[in-house]
């Protein structure tokens, strides 16, 4: 890429190209403002134009939150900084509008505007070419003048309003920066219809049309003014209601985003009734904000209310309702409500109706997420691949929306056990997000989460932990340290710590996640079901089998409360509980549960899926515990060519452990058992570490095989290496500690 100055100077740029570039820049700045971030130092050298023509904002080093009242001025670069910045006052959104106005003057005129900080000249006054001067006079001069007014309140109220006036100029509509005189409005109307105006035969019809349009434009302008005033009054009232200074001593020291949202959601029920479409847009925006804060229950109700506007029947109403339904579908899919997500996504697709490429790509992307959540992975793959192709064509390969679909394909690949493919997709998406949204953004943090989880599933726990900690730091800054998104990251970190064998730290993270999420969303949600399941798996490993069973049963109960019996999350919870029953001598109860889970996985995903593979391994273990070694061997043989095992080191190790158990159960297979347990311990020591509790537990199995081969000294050595790890990490009631004591007595390491 190159700086904006270099882009402007590299070739003679038509005015339309300059206006289009400014509109693109405005979109990027507005995106920052929507996150309450003011750039404070917009200038051509801080705007990079990529090869695909998209601008990227650089140097957010002095950017400030819009509600930051900490202080001092002196922000910005002379020549581009607003008067209030130069005076040392707190920058605001209007400060960035001023800087954009100066940049636009220079883009249009092709010259620097005011390096000494004096009043900004009109672009027509700055331009040297006579023809260019004439083209700049009028709308463009007026737009620049309003953006660069000395008083912030006299400028455009937002970057969005500034861009809207530029768009009106481009469409030959009357701009807000100029007085709406009849003569001016007539010139604009004639400019849009110059061919008709040149035809004398239709002159009378043209005049009649113009008069009608003049009235329509006036009515629309008045309606827009009313809407703008209503929105302004609504937002001001919400902020005032949330202002702690207006609540007396009971108030907090500053306004929190959630306070404003709560006040806005209360007021919207009784205000803004004059424009139902505007009300629907605001409801959708509030729902998105609540969702971003992790308050999905409140968001869901607001999304439903926003979608009700589709009853209006107009094209605009259908599109607004479709957008709300699409947002709702994504939220439901991420929360595990697959069937509801599919219903919302398909409804949104029907409302959009036509096949506008950008809208169709949005529908396909949402459908892909919904199908994935419901377990229809083939339909999800087809929808997401189609969405990616469309977005690359319509938006470009480096667009933020394109990165979102790449991310979703990575998530799908990970779920299907294609971990190398998933990692590549996540990394490609992250590179785009880093350039388009920056590292301090929800988009980038979400990409890090996906990559971290995928690395953990490959057994690369140290890398995964580092990435998830970086993600947690960003999430706490973007969403808050007590948000449900932060709770989710604590849960993912707990899982990695569990796999690394740091059980104390893992349990601490799990319990922190449970408490944080319950404080935001309550104790009876699907997120709580996930946390209960994962904590139960840790308690099982530590030897608290009663606590583990309680957790697995609570997780299953919560999932059944919210989801259908064949939903993937419910099937997974049934299989986890069955595995615990199997390992606590309740094989007869576990068998039908595991067999039903396998049938469900095969119906949902087929053979080549991690959930199917895990359940087949569990069934092989069950056959061993039920004294059916031949059946166990057949179950393991069916996994020999599994592509899922080829990509997942943890699953391969899990399979190898059951194979070693099978060898130990066979008569006359002592040498084979010794060899297989030796290989398991070596792999575990390499992948998990010598001091990992699983490595130590499998050393006891290896020692048993060595004793069966009459190699007592070798067995004693393995027991001595395992003992300190097991006694440090496992709870006293753990069966593994009883096994350890028995082996120590057999080998003379303890009296008995």
* Best mean pLDDT range from 35-39, 198-202, 474-478: 474-478
**Secondary structure (3-state) at 56:** strand
Give me the sign of the Cα torsion angle 402, 408, 414, 418: negative
- With beta carbons less than 8 A apart as the criterion, state whether 607 and 418 touch: no
Tell me the C-alpha distance between 602 and 622, whole Å: 19
Q: For tokens 């010139």, what's the residue?
A: 187
Mean of per-residue pLDDT scores for the chain: 84
Tell me the C-alpha distance between 726 and 236, whole Å: 61
* pLDDT (tens digit per residue) in 308-365: 876 777 888 888 899 999 999 999 998 888 889 999 999 999 998 866 788 899 999 9
Strand 55-57 and strand 2-3: the pairing is unpaired
pLDDT at 256 over 60: no
Tell me the C-alpha distance between 447 and 470, whole Å: 11
Q: Which CATH number does 667-752 carry?
A: 1.25.40
pLDDT at 524 over 80: yes
Torsion angles phi and psi, residue 55, rounded to 5: -80, 150
Entry pTM = 0.62
* pLDDT (tens digit per residue) in 604-626: 888 989 999 999 999 999 999 99
Provide the residue ranges of all domains of the chain, joining segments of one domain with +. 2-178, 564-649, 667-752
CB atoms within 10 A of CB 673: 24
> Which pLDDT score is estimated for 264?
57
Q: Which CATH number does 2-178 carry?
A: 1.10.510.10
Q: State both tokens at 24.
A: 């693109």
- With beta carbons less than 8 A apart as the criterion, state whether 542 and 730 touch: yes
* pLDDT (tens digit per residue) in 193-212: 444 444 433 333 433 444 43
pLDDT category of residue 75 using cuts at 50, 70 and 90: low
Q: For 140, how many CA atoms within 13 A lie in the half-sphere containing its CB?
A: 27
Tell me the C-alpha distance between 669 and 709, whole Å: 10
- With beta carbons less than 8 A apart as the criterion, state whether 230 and 275 touch: yes
């Amino acid at each position: 890429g190159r700086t904006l100055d270099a882009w402007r100077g590299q070739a003679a740029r038509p005015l339309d190209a300059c206006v289009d570039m400014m509109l693109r820049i405005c979109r990027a700045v507005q995106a920052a403002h929507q996150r309450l971030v003011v750039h404070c130092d917009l200038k051509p050298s801080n705007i990079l134009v990529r090869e695909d023509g998209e601008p990227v904002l650089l140097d957010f080093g002095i950017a400030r939150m819009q509600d930051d009242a900490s202080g001092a001025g002196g922000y910005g670069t002379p020549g581009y900084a607003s008067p209030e910045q130069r005076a040392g006052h707190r920058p605001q959104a209007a400060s960035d509008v001023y800087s954009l106005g100066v940049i636009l003057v220079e883009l249009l005129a092709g010259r620097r505007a005011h390096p000494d900080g004096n009043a900004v000249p009109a672009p027509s006054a700055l331009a040297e070419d006579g023809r260019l001067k004439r083209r700049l006079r009028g709308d463009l001069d007026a737009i620049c003048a309003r953006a660069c007014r000395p008083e912030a309140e006299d400028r455009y109220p937002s970057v969005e309003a500034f861009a809207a006036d530029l768009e009106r100029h481009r469409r030959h509509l009357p701009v807000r920066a100029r007085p709406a005189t009849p003569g001016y409005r007539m010139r604009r109307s004639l400019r849009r219809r110059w061919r008709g105006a040149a035809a004398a035969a239709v002159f009378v019809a043209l005049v009649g049309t113009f008069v009608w349009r003049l009235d329509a434009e006036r009515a629309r302008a008045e309606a827009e003014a009313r809407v703008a005033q209503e929105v302004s009054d609504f937002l001001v009232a919400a902020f005032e209601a949330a202002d702690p200074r207006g609540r007396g001593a009971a108030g907090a020291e500053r306004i929190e985003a959630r306070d404003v949202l709560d006040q806005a959601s209360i007021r919207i029920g009784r205000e803004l009734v004059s424009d139902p479409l505007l009300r629907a847009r605001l409801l959708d925006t509030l729902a998105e904000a609540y969702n971003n804060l992790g308050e999905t229950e409140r968001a869901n109700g607001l999304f439903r209310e926003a979608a009700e506007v589709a009853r209006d029947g107009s094209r605009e109403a259908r599109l607004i309702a479709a957008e709300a339904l699409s947002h709702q579908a994504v939220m439901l899919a991420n929360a595990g409500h697959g069937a509801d997500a599919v219903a919302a996504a398909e409804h949104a697709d029907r409302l959009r109706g036509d096949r506008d490429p950008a809208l169709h790509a949005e529908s396909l992307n949402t459908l892909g997420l919904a199908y994935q959540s419901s377990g229809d992975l083939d339909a999800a793959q087809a929808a997401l691949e189609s969405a990616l192709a469309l977005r690359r064509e319509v938006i470009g390969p480096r667009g933020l929306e394109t990165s979102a679909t790449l991310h979703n394909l990575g998530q799908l690949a990970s779920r299907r056990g294609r971990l190398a493919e998933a990692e590549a997709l996540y990394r490609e998406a992250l590179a785009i997000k880093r350039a388009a949204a920056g590292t301090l953004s929800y988009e980038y943090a979400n990409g890090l989460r996906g990559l971290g989880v995928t690395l953990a599933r490959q057994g690369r726990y140290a890398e995964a932990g580092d990435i998830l900690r970086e993600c947690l730091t960003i999430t706490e800054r973007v969403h808050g340290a007590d948000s449900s998104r932060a709770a989710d990251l604590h849960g993912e970190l707990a899982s990695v710590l569990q796999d690394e064998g740091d059980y104390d730290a893992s349990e601490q993270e799990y319990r922190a996640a449970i408490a944080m999420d319950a404080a935001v969303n309550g104790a009876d949600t699907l997120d709580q079901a996930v946390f209960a399941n994962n904590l139960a798996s840790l308690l099982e490993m530590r030897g608290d089998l009663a606590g583990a069973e309680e957790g697995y049963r609570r997780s299953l109960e919560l999932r059944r409360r919210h989801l259908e019996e064949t939903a993937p999350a419910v099937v997974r919870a049934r299989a986890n509980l069955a595995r615990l029953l199997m390992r606590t001598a309740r094989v007869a109860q576990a068998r039908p549960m595991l067999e039903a889970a396998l049938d469900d996985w095969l119906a949902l995903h087929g053979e080549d899926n991690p959930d199917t593979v895990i359940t087949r391994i569990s069934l092989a273990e069950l056959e061993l515990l039920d004294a059916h070694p031949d059946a166990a061997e057949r179950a393991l043989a069916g996994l020999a060519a599994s592509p899922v095992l080829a990509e997942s080191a943890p699953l391969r190790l899990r399979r190898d452990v059951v194979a070693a158990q099978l060898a130990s159960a066979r008569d006359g297979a002592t040498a084979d058992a010794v060899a297989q347990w030796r290989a398991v311990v070596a792999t575990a020591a390499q992948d998990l570490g010598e001091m990992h509790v699983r490595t130590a537990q499998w050393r006891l199995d290896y020692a048993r095989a060595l004793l069966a081969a009459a190699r007592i000294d070798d067995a004693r050595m393995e027991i001595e290496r395992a003992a300190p790890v097991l006694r440090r990490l496992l709870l006293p009631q753990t069966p593994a500690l009883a096994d350890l004591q028995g082996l120590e007595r057999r080998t003379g390491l303890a009296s008995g």
